[in-house]
Amino acid sequence: MGDITTGTDVVVIGGGPGGYVAAIRAAQRGLATTLVEKDHYGGACLNHGCIPSKAFITAADVADEAANASGMGVYADPEVDMGELAAWKDDVVDRLTGGVEQLCEANGVDLIEGTAAFEDEHTVRIAHGGEGQGMETVEFEQAIVATGSRPVEIPGFDFADEPVWSSRDALAAETVPDDLVVVGAGYIGMELSTTFAKLGADVTVVEMLDDVLPAYEEDVSSVVRRRADDLGIDFTFGEGASGWEETSDGRIAVHTETEDGTESTYEADRVLVAVGREPVTDTLELEEIDLAPDDDGFLRTDDRARTDLDHVFAVGDVAGEPMLAHKASAEGIVAAEVAAGENAAFDARAIPAAVFTDPEIATVGLTEAEAEEAGFDPLVGEMPLRANGRALTMDETEGFVRIVAEADAGFVLGAQIVAPEASELIAEAALAVEMGARLDDLAGTIHTHPTLSETLLEAAENALGEAIHTLNE
């Protein structure tokens, strides 16, 4: 087939949470918008990450809670059909990704399936998938790069090998391995370790550092670590995975090594490599527009989401940490509005983050140490879950809510939550940081009783020295 050439005001490369949101907002602002996606609309998040993982996590939690509710007088021995679970997960994904496509079309976004690469500063060439599908050229005034990220491979572990899983492979599983080795104890490794342990796997986690969730404070990560220990997950710290081989009985042996050269071997049915994600830029041919990633592979941007080229924007994982879907969407809106001539800017002060472990972790803004480093005199309040009525009725008393404020006027600077539904609870704290609320604003807001949300009120009151349901320090 011959080439087709079209023109557009804005071309968006990548249809994930950053790209499709940017495309819709650009079209809403009256710009002719073309969205190019090489795989599936919704990107890695909807198809291979956020959504399928939460589906698996929810099912695993239901099974685990039912199996361990004897203290409430509830006795059950649930059986999980992984084939049916995978089919349900796929249905959820299909509904969401289909909705993304419909929303784009309803807003007038032109959708093109294929892989886009820059030909010059105002042209991309799109290779359509499939034999004989040809190429397409799109001329544009402005471009938004939203190509996302992919799981990091490590030497000796090729994702093309059947026993070696990436997070994407794990979330496509239709059976649970009897024995699973997980390389990496960051948020992805811990979420999936917990999930597969609840689904019946014997899990061993190999981590080079000396604890789980190294990005979080020790009293935050230790709650999750204790729960993982209760689930029977084994941890080996200070070891790096060096390779694997098949065993005579059809299983695999995963080899590790410490810094001093001590070697260990762990037998398993599968090994899941979850050491992080890396930005995807290698398909873009950025050299054609004299644009180069930084040393970590990210495209540098300003607070308008612009790269070093004013008419080329980058949003989401490809634009740097934190690599979070909601951050990508927020950046996508900024990029689209700036492309439309509006005075939008991205403010990273209040980006919440959540880890869907057991219990969940959610944070926003500054920790106490970060507040001190930034020059604030921090005021800290905490509420333990063991003193919250709703937590007791849920039989979930491990965890706490912490509010960090500045001492002079009481402005809320951040929060750290370790609790069931922490990912939901953090929204109130994020709003407080975003709007410049004070401790007395949180403390003076009437919260529904009995709920977990009351812990935010109590933490604020504790910071003020006025807590009713926990001791003031």
Q: What does each C-alpha distance from 256 to 101, 120, 195, 334, 363 come to in angstroms?
A: 44, 46, 23, 44, 33
What are 419's two structure tokens? 């609790």
Tokens representing residue 107 in the block: 């807003």
HSE of 163 in the Cβ direction (CA atoms, 13 Å)? 21
CB 205 within 8 A of CB 182: yes
**Single-letter residue type at 437:** A
Cα-based angle 46, 355, 59 (whole degrees, multiple of 5): 65
Give the rounded distance of the alpha carbon of 292 from its chain centre.
25
Query: Among the options 48, 122, 326, 449, which is catalytic?
Result: 449
From residue 347, alpha-carbon distances to 236, 306, 330 in Å are 39, 14, 9
| H or E stretch at 174 | none
Distance CA 229, CA 18 (A): 36
CB 358 within 8 A of CB 226: no
> How many other C-beta atoms are found inside a 10 Å radius of the C-beta of residue 25?
24
For the question of residue 48 being annotated catalytic, the response is no
Strand partners, 186: none
- The one-letter amino acid at 332: G
Catalytic residue list: 449
